[in-house]
Amino acid sequence: MRHGCKVNHLSRTHAHRVAMLSNMATSLIMHKRIETTVAKAKALRVYVEPIINRAKEDSTHNRRIVFSYLHSKEAVNELFREVSQKVANRPGGYTRILKTGIRHGDNSEMAIIELVDYNENMLKEPKAKKAKATRRGRAKKAETAPAAEAPVAEAPVVDAPAAEAEAPKAE
Residue of 62, 65, 67, 70 lying closest to 44 (CA atoms): 70
Question: For residue 77, is pLDDT > 60?
Answer: yes
Task: State the pLDDT at residue 136.
Answer: 72
User: Ranked by mean pLDDT, which of 109-113, 130-134, 146-150, 155-159 comes out on top?
Assistant: 109-113
How many C-beta neighbours within 10 Å does residue 163 have? 9
Boundaries of every domain in the chain: 14-122
Mean pLDDT of the chain: 86
Q: Is the pLDDT of residue 162 over 90?
A: no
CA pair distance 169, 167, nearest whole angstrom: 6
pTM (2 d.p.): 0.70
pLDDT of residue 121: 79
Q: What is the CATH number of domain 14-122?
A: 3.90.1030.10
pLDDT attached to residue 33: 96
pLDDT digits (tens, 9 = 90+) for 109-140: 999 999 998 887 777 776 766 666 676 767 65
User: pLDDT-derived band of residue 5, with 50, 70 and 90 as boundaries?
Assistant: confident
pLDDT at 20: 98
For 16-30, the pLDDT digits (tens) are 999 999 999 999 999
Distance from C-alpha of 85 to C-alpha of 64, rounded to nearest angstrom = 19
Rounded CA-CA distance 84/107 in Å is 36
67 CB-near residues (< 8 Å, 6+ apart) = 73, 76
Residue 148: pLDDT over 80: no
pLDDT of 141 higher than 70:
no
Share of the chain above pLDDT 90, in %: 64
70-to-54, 73, 76, 169 alpha-carbon distances in Å: 13, 8, 7, 91
Q: Give the per-residue pLDDT at 168.
A: 60
